Amino acid sequence: MKKIFAAAALSALTLGAYAQITGDIFIHDPSTIVRCNGIYYTFGTGSGGLMSDDGYTWRSGAVKPGGGVAPDAMKIGDRYLITYSGNFPGTQGKTHGVCQTMWATTLNPDSVDYSAEELVAWAGADDDCYSIDPALLLDPTTERLWMSYGTYFGAIRIVELDPKTAKRLPKSEPVDVAIDCEAPALMYHNGWYYLLGTHGTCCDGVNSTYNIVCGRSREVTGPYVDNVGRDMLEGGGKMVLSAGNRVTGPGHFGRYIEEDGCEKMSCHFEADFDRSGKSVLGIRALLWKNDWPVAADPFKEGTFEIESERRGYALELAVDFVRMQGAGRGFGNASTPDVPLQTQMLADVIGDWPKGNIDIRLNDYMFRPHQRWTVTAVGDKGGYLGAPYYKITIEGTNRALAATADGELTSVPQYTGAPEQLWRIEQLVDGTYRIISEKVPGKEGQQFALVCTGDCSLTLGKYDFNDVNCKWNFRDR
């Protein structure tokens, strides 16, 4: 953390809500989200943290013994490794600080069993570094364990740890990789190592200027260079996430991979304008564009064409196509005045629709009433990591998209809030979306996604990121 107000940074932070998640989510400097025995955990500065059963509704209660500053956490094998900053040194850069690690067999605050702490990084009074804000990377290509740390008051550094003991390797010397940022984090993607840094100022509420930037390298020890060739040792960094959507000051990046092609990032926002300017947990979809990480905007409710990535056809009710009046061949007479034609209205066609369930299919999009779907959050029904469940209804009606007991799609005349009428909408790393039923009747505990079986036909089936039939777009046109 850049120490603008030391007292604010050191205060005991309790937890509350952000636009896409709910509950008590007030936190500062959150660790990467880790799941333990079905519960999501993140730890913050101080000894407290957050817990969630579903990733949508959060509560305080996670505990990291020993206090400390800006922790990180990850699972290695059947244990959990936690790292954090101790001996909080104040607001001056050239004072000593330390980074420590500890093991846990569980993150449950009622039955934690933490091992002894290990001192793995430090900085003396004359060292051009500030040993704080540690983060972990277990290299998926080598199984080597790395820790990044540092702040504005000197260099960002990387040091290698022993993945079996979490002790610093005897011959591992810290490597300088960046300046002009803090709260560094490392990740690996598609042959590249990425260094994420938090740039700007913190701890000043709505006036905090925090934002998250990154560079990448073919080697874990750098050099880390941004998209226009600037080395992060010279202050470079490509923007990943900045202020917007009534929250400001994102910092302390963490990556969570749910499934192949479905990734999330966590952070804190220094100030939530809808929560009295308090610091809150944020969760966004993590996208990849030309092998650069991009934080997605929150999914917003609205009325859309739901478009298949397979062919570009639109989800629609399987009802008869109703021709519009006044339709000629389109040539017309140039001497007559232009008159706007009215779009086909729901009232023009709904009387001819069946009264019971109506099947679902795909077809050419013509912005007709049977092709316009309103997506609405239903937060009182719970959710998943970073978002609530949604209902999907025909615009202007209560006719809802629903899963059937035989794993097919239908529309029911009235939305009732039944689990089979709830949908999980998640943006994938390529910018498309997956749409997953909260429940298929009689198949509890199994996950079923909306899947094309042909250009015009679809079903509920297994999600596969590499299958274009599983991908959808939400378009307003």
Residue 417 and residue 461 in one domain = yes
Q: In what order do the strands lie in the sheet with 175-178?
A: 135-138, 145-149, 156-161, 175-178
Domain that holds residue 392: 302-322+340-475
**Reported confidence tier of residue 139, pLDDT bands at 50, 70, 90:** very high
Q: Which two tokens stand for residue 31?
A: 């660790």
DSSP state of 26: B
Task: Tell me whether the omega of the peptide bond preceding residue 223 falls within 30 degrees of 0, making it cis.
Answer: yes
Same domain, 241 and 360: no
Distance, in Å, from the CA atom of 388 to the CA atom of 408, rounded to the nearest integer, reads 23
| Main-chain dihedrals φ then ψ at residue 419, nearest 5 degrees | -55, -35
Q: Is 132 part of a structural domain of the chain? A: yes
The answer to the question of residue 463 being in a domain is yes
pLDDT at residue 153, as a whole number: 83
- How many domains would you assign to the chain? 2
Same domain, 289 and 312: no
- Asked whether residue 216 is assigned to any structural domain, the reply reads yes
Do residue 159 and residue 248 come from a single domain? yes
Is residue 242 domain-shared with residue 306, that is, in the same domain? no
At residue 70, does pLDDT exceed 60? yes
pLDDT at residue 181, as a whole number: 96
Write the CATH number for 146. 2.115.10.20
Same structural domain for residues 350 and 421?
yes
Res 94 pLDDT > 50: no
Cα torsion 425, 428, 430, 432 to 10°: value is -20
Mean local confidence (pLDDT), 4-12 = 31
Tens digits of residue pLDDT in 171-230 = 999 999 999 999 999 999 999 999 999 999 999 999 999 999 999 999 999 999 999 999
Is 17's pLDDT higher than 70? Answer: no
284 and 316 inside one domain: no
Does residue 428 share a domain with residue 308? yes
Q: Note the pLDDT of residue 333.
A: 66
Residue 74 shares a structural domain with residue 144: yes
Q: Does residue 183 share a domain with residue 289? A: yes
